[in-house]
Amino acid sequence: MISFNVITPFPAMFDAVLNESILLKAKQKNIAEYNIFNLFNYLDNSSDRIDDYPFGGGEGMLLKAEPIFNAFESIKSTFRNNKPRVIFPTPDGKIFNHSKAKELSEESNLIFICGHYKGIDQRVRDEIVTDEISIGDFVLTGGELPSMIMIDSIVRLKEGVLNNYKSAKKDSFYDFLLDGPHYTRPRDFKGINVPEVLLSGNHKKIKDWFLNQREEKTKKLRLDLWEKYKSIKTEKK
């Protein structure tokens, strides 16, 4: 069982995403649990604010250290492992990718801290956070969507979540190749036909065709992955 624990001022944002489709199934199968903690419940004084002006001036507000530390201590006290991974989604973090998702999927407890406004007090980052992660070179309004994206990509790697576990292994990035094209019925849709080879029943030919499609696509769209793929292939030889 992997436990996802999210600290956020906007817990309702998680309702739909964690209660539909594969993420819901993972919960029902006891493979994953999701605990969403409302940051407002961790103020020392309920009349206090969760944010404040930055010292030294500047635009925007910062999330205060106090409620985040309180929430973290309270969550941590329920874990057996005293040093949980604590993820802070932030555009100035290290870029998220498949291997990070795989690494995190092997943990039993993860804590996500959702930042807002201009960010969070640096002392939270220095004292609590273990992983500062960006989901791409663009800026979102808060850490909720990046957290959900990471949770989704981690959960689907857990054995028993996808009906066809093998299919996750064929996904883009598993072996540095992008995924290729897929077709389903009908064979002829508005005069556009499924490639003949897929109807041939010749498994070797089909396998070679898929690999060729994936290689060509990767070469065209992602030279960085293509270089990695080629070097792994040479190593294997």
What residues contact residue 106 under an 8 Å CB cut-off, 6+ apart?
none
CA 60 to chain centre: 27
Binder to ligand ADE among 51, 89, 120, 162 (CB under 6 A)?
89
> Among residues 63 and 135, whose Cβ is nearest to ligand ADE?
135
Report the residue closest to ligand ADE, judged by CB: 89
In the complex, least distance from residue 134 CB atom to ligand ADE, rounded to whole angstroms: 4
Least distance to ligand ADE from the beta carbon of 36, Å?
17
Residue from 8, 90, 109, 153 that binds ligand ADE (CB under 6 A)? 90
Among 14, 19, 23, 39, which residue's Cα sits nearest to residue 157? 23
Nearer residue to ligand ADE within complex by CB, 16 or 139:
139
User: From the CB of 9, what's the least distance to ligand ADE, in Å?
Assistant: 14
Nearest approach, Cβ of residue 72 and ligand ADE (Å): 18
Interface positions, 109-168, toward ligand ADE (CB under 6 A) = 134-136, 138-140, 143, 146
Q: 104 is written with which tokens?
A: 């995190």
Nearer to ligand ADE, 113 or 177 (CB): 113
Residue count, binding to ligand ADE (CB under 6 A): 11
Q: Identify which of residues 60 and 181 has a Cβ nearer to ligand ADE in the complex.
A: 60
In sequence order, the 6+-apart residues with CB closer than 8 A to the CB of 64 are: 49, 50, 51, 52, 121
For residue 196, CA distances in Å to 12, 82, 178 come to 48, 57, 22
- Sequence-separated (6 or more) residues with CB below 8 Å from residue 114: 6, 7, 8, 9, 10, 39, 89, 142, 143, 144, 147
Helices and strands, number each (H, E), in the chain: 9, 9
DSSP code of residue 188: E
Q: Select 141 or 164, whichever has its Cβ closest to ligand ADE.
A: 141
Please report whether residue 55 would count as binding ligand ADE according to CB under 6 A.
Answer: no
9 binds ligand ADE (CB under 6 A): no
Q: Specify the residue, 8 or 218, whose C-beta has the smaller distance to ligand ADE.
A: 8
Q: How far apart are CA 87 and CA 110, in angstroms?
A: 7
32 interacts with ligand ADE by CB under 6 A? no
Residues of the shown chain interacting with ligand ADE in the complex, contacts defined by CB under 6 A = 89-91, 134-136, 138-140, 143, 146
